[in-house]
């Protein structure tokens, strides 16, 4: 998992510093994300978004999310520790306004640490992720932005097949600090 986080960071920095001026990232935002599956755990972590100047990509934003129940529900309880890493493509509507509707497609990987308990022996502890979400984004100040979204995981589990910690419906909010 640490390798995926490091690889994501290296990808973002190489995209921002290794390109010509016309292809450089025009905006970069980093923040915290709080995610809640309907009827299940809170997962909290980091989220980032960036947008390119040109290459026909200036109407789309790209993002990444790293969330874990270790920073949410499992911080004080005995809940199953989970980790999810996602990459995203985001389309904002009404781009010049403070309040913007958005549509987001996420792909990624989720992992749950069941420990050595034999009760979980035959249950999958990892899964790919594919989700669609929609919601709103509101620019609070020149350096802060808040998003609230709801979504659906197309790949989910029920405890007997698939990763049982990935439920179909979720809601989340993110608070971003606008770096560039």
CB 94 within 8 A of CB 116: no
5 has pLDDT over 70: no
Domain ranges of the chain: 2-178
pTM for the full model? 0.78
Alpha-carbon distance of 103 to 121, in angstroms, equals 37
DSSP 67: E
Residue-wise pLDDT tens digits, 40-81: 778 899 999 988 766 556 678 899 999 988 777 667 777 778
Residue-wise pLDDT tens digits, 125-147: 788 899 999 999 999 998 999 99
Phi, psi (deg, nearest 5) at residue 74: -85, 5
Q: What is the pLDDT of residue 160?
A: 65
Alpha-carbon distance of 134 to 27, in angstroms, equals 21
Beta strands in 9-162 (DSSP E): 25-37, 42-52, 60-68, 82-92, 99-112, 126-139, 144-153
CATH of 2-178, one of 3.90.1150.10, 2.40.160.20, 3.30.830.10, 2.60.40.10: 2.40.160.20
């Amino acid at each position: 998992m640490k390798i995926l986080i490091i690889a994501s960071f290296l990808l973002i920095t190489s995209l921002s510093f290794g390109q010509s001026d016309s292809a450089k990232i025009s905006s970069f935002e980093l923040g915290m994300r709080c995610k809640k599956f309907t009827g299940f755990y809170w997962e909290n972590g980091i989220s980032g978004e960036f947008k390119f100047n040109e290459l026909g990509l200036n109407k789309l934003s790209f993002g990444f999310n790293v969330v874990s129940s270790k920073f949410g529900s499992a911080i004080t309880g005995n809940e199953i520790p989970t980790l999810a890493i996602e990459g995203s493509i985001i389309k904002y509507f009404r781009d010049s306004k403070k309040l913007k509707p958005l549509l987001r497609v996420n792909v990624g990987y989720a992992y749950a640490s069941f420990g050595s308990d034999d009760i979980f022996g035959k249950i999958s502890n990892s899964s790919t992720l594919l989700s669609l979400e929609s919601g709103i984004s509101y620019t609070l100040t020149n350096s802060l932005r808040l998003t609230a979204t709801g979504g659906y995981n197309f790949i989910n589990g029920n405890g007997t097949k698939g990763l049982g910690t990935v439920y179909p419906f979720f809601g989340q909010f993110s608070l971003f600090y606008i770096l560039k």
